[in-house]
């Protein structure tokens, strides 16, 4: 148990894979390639990339005073979200004004309106996850103090609420539509994390085999951002995602790939930076008459965004990008106290 609550390089290794796939996934979307066979194959393999990040937050979740946890997560999640949403919107605004011909007043109101209405971070769309994770972690601070039986009962209830929101097509303010699934995966990570050290090797093999069989037989993908089922079964997606996350944890338990570990530890850089880079490349493409669809465009987006993000991670301190370090978190906590 103590091992799990400390930093584990296998988590970083898996996170490295998932954040790289997130950038590639978005490059496919921007390139209009979401209907290609290559995209479908990759998504069939890595469909659980968003559940992984919620799940990991539950595995490493530490019980602490609410004020300390709130201030820490505000600093680590909300501040970077606000800063980089604004930066992304500064890149996006010229396109909205000069290409889409939207009124300036409407453009200026978009970031606040989108955030309040649906939790969208206009200008840097992937950062919806930071707001969602912040809310999930605040709720987790109370849930972990409940009776263990109640915690397990919450899992199917959360799945049911998520499915009901999907069926009724309800998009809640501040991104609360993402919370049932996000909280389900985070709580599952918390509960699973307490048992992982006790899972026998034979049981691990059985879980992996069942996962491969179910993932092949039960297709499903939910876009958690808007709580929409793309294809397959909603509940099947939840079950196969949980099994897949457990399986990769077993598989990577003793695997240490240094580049992936480093990327996993720097995943916030990739999350924050890649979307504004996409936007800038698109603006340049519009101005120069280059195509903004297709394979070459998607490859250009992904390659340049990864290169810029990784160079920033290598040479630019976290504090310069609003990714606050330990000292600033302690300072904020003292101020809050």
Q: Which residues contact 173 (CB under 8 A, 6 or more apart)?
A: 116, 117, 118, 119
Q: Which residue has the tokens 């049932």?
A: 180
**Residue 253 pLDDT class (50, 70, 90 cuts):** confident
Domain span at 33: 2-336
Instruction: Tell me which residue of 56, 15, 61 sits closest to 260, measured CA to CA.
Output: 15
Provide φ and ψ at 14, rounded to 5°.
Answer: -65, -40
Provide φ and ψ at 41, rounded to 5°.
Answer: -65, -45
Q: Which of 100-104, 261-265, 289-293, 310-314 has the lowest mean pLDDT?
A: 100-104
**pTM of the full structure:** 0.92
Number of domains comprising the chain: 1
pLDDT recorded at residue 324? 64
Q: Which of 28-37, 48-57, 68-77 has the lowest mean pLDDT?
A: 68-77
**If DSSP codes are grouped into helix, strand and coil, which group holds residue 44?**
helix
From residue 24, give the alpha-carbon distance in Å to each of 16, 144, 240, 295: 13, 35, 22, 12
Taking 50 as the threshold, does the pLDDT of residue 333 lie above it?
Answer: no
């Amino acid at each position: 148990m103590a091992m799990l609550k400390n930093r584990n390089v296998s988590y970083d290794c898996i996170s490295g894979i998932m954040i790289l796939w997130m950038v590639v996934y978005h490059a496919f979307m921007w390139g209009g390639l979401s209907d290609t066979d290559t995209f479908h194959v990759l998504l069939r393999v890595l469909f659980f990339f968003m559940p992984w990040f919620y799940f990991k937050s539950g595995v490493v979740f530490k019980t602490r005073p609410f004020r300390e946890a709130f201030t820490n997560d505000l600093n680590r999640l909300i501040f970077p979200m606000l800063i980089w949403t604004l930066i992304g919107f500064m890149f996006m605004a010229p396109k909205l004004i000069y290409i889409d011909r939207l009124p300036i007043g409407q453009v200026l109101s978009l970031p606040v309106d989108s955030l309040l209405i649906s939790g969208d971070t206009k200008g840097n769309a992937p950062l919806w996850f930071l707001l969602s994770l912040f809310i999930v972690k605040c709720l987790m601070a109370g849930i972990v103090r409940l009776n263990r039986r109640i915690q397990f009962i919450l899992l199917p209830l959360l799945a049911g609420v998520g499915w009901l929101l999907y069926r009724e097509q309800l998009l809640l303010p501040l991104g609360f539509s993402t919370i049932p699934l996000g909280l389900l995966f985070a709580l599952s990570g918390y509960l699973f994390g307490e048992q992982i050290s006790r899972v026998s090797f034979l049981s691990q093999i059985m879980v992996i085999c069942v996962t491969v069989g179910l993932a092949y037989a039960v297709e499903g993908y939910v876009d958690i951002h808007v709580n929409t089922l793309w294809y397959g079964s909603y509940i099947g997606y939840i079950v196969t995602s949980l099994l897949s996350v457990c399986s990769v944890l077993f598989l990577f338990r003793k695997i240490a790939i240094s580049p992936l570990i480093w990327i996993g530890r720097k995943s916030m850089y990739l999350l924050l930076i890649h979307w504004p880079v996409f936007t800038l490349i698109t603006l340049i493409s519009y101005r120069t008459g280059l195509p903004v669809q297709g394979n070459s465009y998607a490859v250009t987006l992904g390659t340049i965004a990864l290169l810029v993000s990784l160079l920033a991670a290598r040479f630019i301190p976290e504090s310069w990008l609003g990714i606050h370090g330990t000292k600033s978190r302690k300072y904020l906590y003292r101020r809050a106290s």
